[in-house]
């Protein structure tokens, strides 16, 4: 995922956190901030030290990024969001991470619904 799709600066993280607009499931917490007139979404990923050492945390982050890359066409564009991985993601497979992340994104209304009824 390109750098333009990431929330990198501490100030940007704080802006999203200060909205107190969060949704959670057993694996992830998602904070979101609506940003009208934005070309594409931006995401920040946080994996705490309870998950494991640096190598393991980076492994979890890579899995989350890959899941987001696969969900990219379905995600809303006018939003910044932060994904916080809970300790239960420690031993999850790639399919489980994608499933849990999709569930959390649906709860947060970040996935656009394509209702094509004929």
Separation of alpha carbons 43 and 83, rounded Å: 7
User: Is 70 a member of any domain?
Assistant: yes
Full residue range of the structural domain in which residue 19 is found: 3-107
Predicted model pTM: 0.85
Strand pairing category for 42-47 and 79-85? parallel
103 contact partners, CB below 8 Å, separation of at least 6: 25
Is 73 part of a structural domain of the chain? yes
Query: The CATH number of the domain where 12 resides is what?
Result: 3.30.230.10
Task: State phi, psi for 40 to the nearest 5 degrees.
Answer: -150, 165
Number of domains composing the chain: 1
Give the rounded percent of residues in the chain with a pLDDT score beyond 90. Answer: 40
Q: Which residue, among 97, 81, 106, 95, has the nearest Cα to 27 in the 3D structure?
A: 97
Positions of the chain with pLDDT lower than 70, given as ranges: 1, 114-118
Rounded CA separation 108/63 (Å): 20
């Amino acid at each position: 995922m390109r750098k333009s799709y990431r929330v990198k600066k501490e100030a940007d993280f704080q802006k999203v956190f200060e909205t107190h607009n969060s949704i959670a499931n057993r694996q992830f917490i998602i904070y979101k901030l609506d940003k009208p007139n934005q070309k594409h979404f931006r995401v920040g990923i946080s994996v705490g030290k309870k998950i494991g050492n640096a190598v393991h945390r980076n492994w979890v982050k890579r899995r989350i990024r890959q899941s987001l890359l696969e969900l990219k066409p379905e995600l809303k564009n006018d939003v910044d969001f932060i994904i916080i991985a809970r300790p239960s993601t420690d031993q999850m497979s790639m399919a489980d991470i994608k499933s849990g992340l999709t569930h959390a994104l649906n709860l947060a209304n970040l996935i656009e619904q394509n209702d094509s009824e004929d």
